[in-house]
Copies of this chain bind each other. A is one copy, B any other.
Amino acid sequence: MKYLAQIDGITYEIEIEANNAIILINGEPVEADLLQVDPLGLYSLLLDHRSCELVVEEQTQGYRVTLGAQTFDVRVADERQLRMEAARADVSARAEGDMPITTPIPGLVVKVLVTEGQHVEENTPLVILEAMKMENEIRAPQAGVVRDISIQPGQSVEGNAVLMILGQENAVVSS
């Protein structure tokens, strides 16, 4: 069986054949022994005798794998399945270059420092968010034009909430 796993936009092809005895990553054969250690999702992997511990949490479309201090969100599917999903995703893709500005944590919006239609440079402060009793500035990760501000001062926001869209320069000009 052939599987495709995607992490941080990188795709790995894993083949598992001959009743689990042959395993290839991107065509390279490996010897891998995976064992669940406790009922909570702790696994021990011996990969070509190298030992590592992982914590695996199931997610809707794959697994969250924690290896030492690093955490990876892995989308995994068999080849055919993943291609279908990719096709579906293309259709609903956003206009190229648009970037949603999200907050990584829940918090309270203290100030919105920009207005819609405003052009901002990379690193411009956009929003002041209070979390853990400290004020945190959310800054523009790239230059662009502010669109669709969906928050206002005093409002509480969830983690990963979209605060506004940073649109492409051209896209706005042509609209």
**Number of this chain's copies in the complex:** 2
Which chain B residues border A40 with CB–CB below 8 Å? 39-40
Q: What separation, in Å, do the CA atoms of A23 and B58 have in the docked complex?
A: 40
Q: Contact string, A26-55, partner B, CB cutoff 8 A, digits 1/0? A: 000000000000011000000000000000
A42 to chain B, nearest CB (A): 12
Q: What separation, in Å, do the CA atoms of A5 and B40 have in the docked complex?
A: 31
A126 to chain B, nearest CB (A): 40
Which chain B residues border A39 with CB–CB below 8 Å? 39-40
Chain B: which residue is nearest A38 at the CB level? B40
Chain B: which residue is nearest A39 at the CB level? B40
Chain B: which residue is nearest A40 at the CB level? B39
A39 to chain B, nearest CB (A): 7
Q: Contact string, A128-164, partner B, CB cutoff 8 A, digits 1/0? A: 0000000000000000000000000000000000000
Q: What separation, in Å, do the CA atoms of A39 and B40 have in the docked complex?
A: 8
Would you list which residues of chain A between 32 and 82 have a CB under 8 Å from chain B?
39-40
A114 to chain B, nearest CB (A): 45
Q: What separation, in Å, do the CA atoms of A40 and B39 have in the docked complex?
A: 8
Q: Contact string, A82-123, partner B, CB cutoff 8 A, digits 1/0? A: 000000000000000000000000000000000000000000
Task: Name 3 interchain pairs, CB-CB below 8 A, sorted by A.
Answer: A39-B39, A39-B40, A40-B40
Q: What are the nearest 3 A-B pairs in CB distance?
A: A39-B40, A40-B40, A39-B39
